[in-house]
Amino acid sequence: MLKAPVNRIIPFSNVDGPGNRTSIFFQGCPFNCLFCHNPETIKMCVSCGKCVETCPVKALSFDEQGKVVWDETKCVQCDSCIKVCPNCSSPKIRWLSVPEVMTQLKRSLPYIDGITTSGGECTQYNEFLIELFAEVKKLGKSCLIDSNGSFDFESDPRVLEVSDGVMLDVKAYEKKWNDYLISFDRSLILKNLEYLLKVNKLYEVRTLIFPDRDRENEETVRHVAEMIGDKCFYKIIRYRPFGVRENYLPVLGEFTTEEEYANRYVELARSLGAAKAYLV
């Protein structure tokens, strides 16, 4: 049976799309963004064992094949394992099937408008999403994909057919700034932006605003705003240092982007036709 690595499920969220939603975070991401706020979702565990010895309640151990396994019933969620992991990973992963995820959703389903799949990068598990969304749709709930744009939606649009839209990160337009920030070619992200708009499956675009990066911020906001107009939401996000890996803080800055500074870009986006631009 098809299974995917689930990092966590948040039963109720009001920041992952419209209304009240259950957010499902998958493990693994092809990007390595300097500013990632949950870097423990980037890579798969390689069972190096470093975290096993640090767990204060012995919730981590090796199985017979030498793989690190997590005992959820013993875990006290201290996150010591995540802090010591040298691999941007987490041992607290569950490989779940679609019926198992549906069982987890059962309690929140009566109170939610839909689900949002996130990560990591959820589109790495495209086949799983197709199956999961089909089940959720049967219950009359909506399905949104939170994506970094690394999946080519045009070459395989099946997941879009069973979803209500995509919340797409466009982190940087300028090539050098993009490569520096995310270590992944931006061409596919920009192609997805264009394609999702064309097929009317773009729910929202998100851009992070960094302090003192006037030119880079402006180029990204200008490009996105001119493309999307009022067709979807444009979430302008202030950079915040919380959760960022310590070795990247001196590079990116340890200060949250000032509200007044970030608001300049909301105004810019609106002046270019992105009427649904807003700041968070």
Using the minimum distance from each CB to ligand SF4, give the nearer residue, 43 or 191: 43
Return the residue of 22, 23, 27, 47 that touches ligand SF4, per CB under 6 A: 47
Residue 109 C-beta: closest distance to ligand SF4, Å: 27
Using the minimum distance from each CB to ligand SF4, give the nearer residue, 45 or 208: 45
Under the criterion CB under 6 A, does residue 60 sit at the interface with ligand SF4? yes
Residue 80 C-beta: closest distance to ligand SF4, Å: 4
Question: Quick check: 35 and 252 in contact, CB under 8 A?
Answer: yes
Whole-angstrom CA distances from 152 to 160, 210, 245, 266, 269 are 11, 27, 29, 28, 26
Query: Residue 31, SS3?
Result: coil
Using the minimum distance from each CB to ligand SF4, give the nearer residue, 76 or 134: 76
Pull the structure tokens for residue 86: 């040298």
Contact track, ligand SF4, 81-110, x by CB under 6 A? x---x-x-xxxx------------------
How far is Cα of residue 204 from the mean position of the Cα atoms in its chain?
13
Q: Which residue has the tokens 């992963």?
A: 93
Under the criterion CB under 6 A, does residue 134 sit at the interface with ligand SF4? no
Residue 224's contacts (CB-CB under 8 Å, 6 or more residues apart) are 170, 173, 193, 205, 207, 234, 269, 274
Please choose, from the candidates 217, 216, 196, 218, the residue with its C-alpha nearest in 3D space to the C-alpha of residue 205.
196
Choose one: 4-12, 80-88, 178-186, 221-229; the region binding ligand SF4 (CB under 6 A).
80-88
Which spans of this chain sit near ligand SF4 (rule: CB under 6 A)? Answer: 45-51, 54-55, 57, 59-60, 68, 70, 75-81, 85, 87, 89-92
